[in-house]
């Protein structure tokens, strides 16, 4: 597979074109699940898939599967993929590099006359980002059976709309959501190309990271109800201020993360809304969303427990009613050593420097790892910046990532014949 020509200029113009499909003006990229911008972006990526002659399937949650049929179509395909949705005020590379980069890898392989034995499949996952329903990796979670249908049906966005409302709007209403789940070993392997979203590779001047483990995320949603009133007339001893309880909770979250003894514990209160939100009115309601992660499940769960206890104590003392929802508490993913070795070997063959690493951000790979051997290929991003409009990876850095992905997919496509596709 020597002589693969990755067309950096073409790929960059596709990345830029996709970035222009956004709910907010450039350079901001915002594409929330099933918004007009998200639907338009999906259509545009599907048209690139069609140009490449891939066959497209879309499941009931909107995961898109674009298959390059192999000469042994009964073998379980090797898959790659990522996401194209984006949180408010995001940049153009997160997720997109793994989708458009994979399509460029397919194109380069086709141009080189490569013919896959196992089929190769690109998966574009629905709602890797959590802003619509407060839960990340919605598509891959359902696909891996890591989210029950009752929990999925109970999801509501800020306006109170459920999943079915948005599925209807996206034209997916006819399919049944229980058809999304895939059996184990549907795929022989899954490899996701992604920007690092950290600064390790850049600092050490290493072009490729091969992911061995993905940290365990969890998300809490807290609803606080106090009693509002006039800011001038309700005297301090009589106050039941929801914001102040929330403020104490946010500090308790920070404390819980700082006292686990592990440098890998991180916790963030990233959402904090209050009602009524007027300067002369005591806040009667508050909503918080808390994100807590660690590479070790035990440490993460211990911190989670401490936060739950703190919420109870604070609310009791301040006479605030609370509703606590654990939106998710996932296990870390251990990547398949054989696959990590394959990617490392490809880097060696291409004479590209590589380093094994942990992913502190979570990705759809966290859930793909539950149904097939999985790893990720990281490329550096400037200053480790992500989820911001100034997120940046250079065309050369992206090109190296696509090279490694393309050669890895070629190897995986030619590999073994032990596991049969479960069609
Ligand atoms: Zn991402």
Tens-digit pLDDT profile for residues 67-107: 999 999 999 999 999 999 999 999 999 999 999 999 999 99
Ligand 1 centroid–CA 361 distance in Å is 8
Ligand 1 centroid–CA 401 distance in Å is 15
Neighbours of ion ligand 1 (CB under 5 A): 94-95
| Least trusted range by pLDDT, from 123-127, 213-217, 274-278, 302-306 | 213-217
The pLDDT of residue 1 is 59
Average model confidence (pLDDT) across the chain: 95
Q: What is the mean pLDDT of residues 159-164?
A: 95
Ligand 1 centroid–CA 94 distance in Å is 5
Residue 208 has pLDDT above 70, yes or no: yes
The pLDDT of residue 417 is 56
Residue 419 has pLDDT above 80, yes or no: no
CB 242 within 8 A of CB 250: no
Q: What is the spatial distance between Cα 153 and Cα 169, in angstroms, rounded to a whole number?
A: 16
Summarised one tens digit per residue, pLDDT across range 146-161 is: 999 999 999 999 899 9
Q: What is the mean pLDDT of residues 200-209?
A: 98
Structure tokens at 31: 């594409």
* List of long-range contacts for 94-98, beta carbons under 8 Å, 24+ apart: 94/194, 94/195, 94/197, 94/386, 94/387, 94/391, 95/128, 95/194, 96/15, 96/18, 96/19, 97/15, 97/193, 97/194, 97/195, 97/379, 97/393, 97/398, 97/401, 98/192, 98/193, 98/194
Ligand 1 centroid–CA 417 distance in Å is 31
Summarised one tens digit per residue, pLDDT across range 135-148 is: 999 999 999 999 99
Q: Is-above-0.95 flag for pTM?
A: no
Ligand 1 centroid–CA 20 distance in Å is 18
Ligand 1 centroid–CA 273 distance in Å is 25
Model confidence at 216, in pLDDT bands (50, 70, 90)?
Answer: confident
Summarised one tens digit per residue, pLDDT across range 320-375 is: 999 999 989 999 999 999 999 999 999 999 999 999 999 999 999 999 999 999 99
């Amino acid at each position: 597979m020597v002589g693969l020509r990755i067309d950096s200029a073409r790929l960059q113009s596709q990345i830029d074109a996709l970035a222009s499909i956004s709910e907010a003006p450039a350079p901001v990229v915002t594409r929330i699940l099933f918004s007009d911008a998200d639907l338009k972006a999906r259509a545009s990526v599907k048209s690139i898939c069609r140009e490449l002659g891939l066959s497209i399937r879309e499941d009931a949650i909107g995961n898109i599967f674009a298959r390059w049929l192999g000469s042994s179509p009964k073998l379980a395909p090797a898959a790659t993929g990522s996401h194209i949705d984006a949180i408010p005020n995001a940049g153009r590379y997160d997720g997109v590099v793994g989708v458009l980069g994979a399509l460029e890898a397919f194109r380069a392989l086709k141009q080189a006359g490569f013919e896959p034995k196992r089929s190769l499949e690109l998966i574009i996952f629905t709602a890797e980002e959590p802003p619509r329903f407060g839960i990340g990796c919605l598509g891959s979670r359902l696909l891996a059976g890591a989210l029950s249908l009752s929990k999925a049906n109970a999801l509501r966005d800020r306006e109170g709309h459920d999943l079915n409302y948005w599925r209807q709007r996206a034209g997916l209403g006819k399919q049944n959501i229980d058809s999304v789940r895939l059996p184990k070993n549907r795929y022989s392997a899954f490899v996701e190309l992604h920007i690092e979203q950290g600064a390790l590779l850049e600092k050490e001047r290493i072009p490729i990271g091969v992911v061995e483990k993905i940290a365990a995320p969890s998300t809490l949603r807290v609803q606080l109800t106090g009693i509002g009133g006039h800011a001038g007339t309700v005297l301090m001893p009589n106050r039941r201020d929801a914001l102040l309880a929330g403020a104490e909770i946010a500090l308790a979250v920070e404390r819980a993360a700082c006292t686990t003894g592990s440098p890998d514990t991180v916790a963030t209160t990233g959402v904090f809304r209050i009602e009524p939100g007027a300067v002369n009115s005591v806040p009667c309601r508050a909503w918080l969303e808390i994100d807590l992660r660690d590479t070790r499940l035990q440490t993460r769960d211990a911190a989670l427990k401490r936060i739950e206890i703190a919420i109870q104590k604070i609310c009791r003392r301040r006479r605030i009613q609370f509703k606590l929802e654990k939106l998710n508490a996932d296990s870390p993913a251990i990547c398949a050593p054989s696959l990590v070795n394959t990617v490392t070997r490809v880097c060696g063959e291409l004479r590209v420097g590589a380093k094994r690493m942990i992913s502190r951000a979570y990705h759809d790979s966290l859930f793909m790892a539950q149904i097939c051997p999985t790893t990720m290929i990281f490329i550096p991003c400037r200053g480790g910046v992500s989820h911001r409009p100034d997120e940046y990876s250079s065309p050369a850095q992206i090109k190296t990532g696509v090279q490694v992905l393309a050669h890895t997919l070629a190897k995986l496509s030619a590999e073994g014949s032990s596991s049969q596709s479960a069609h």
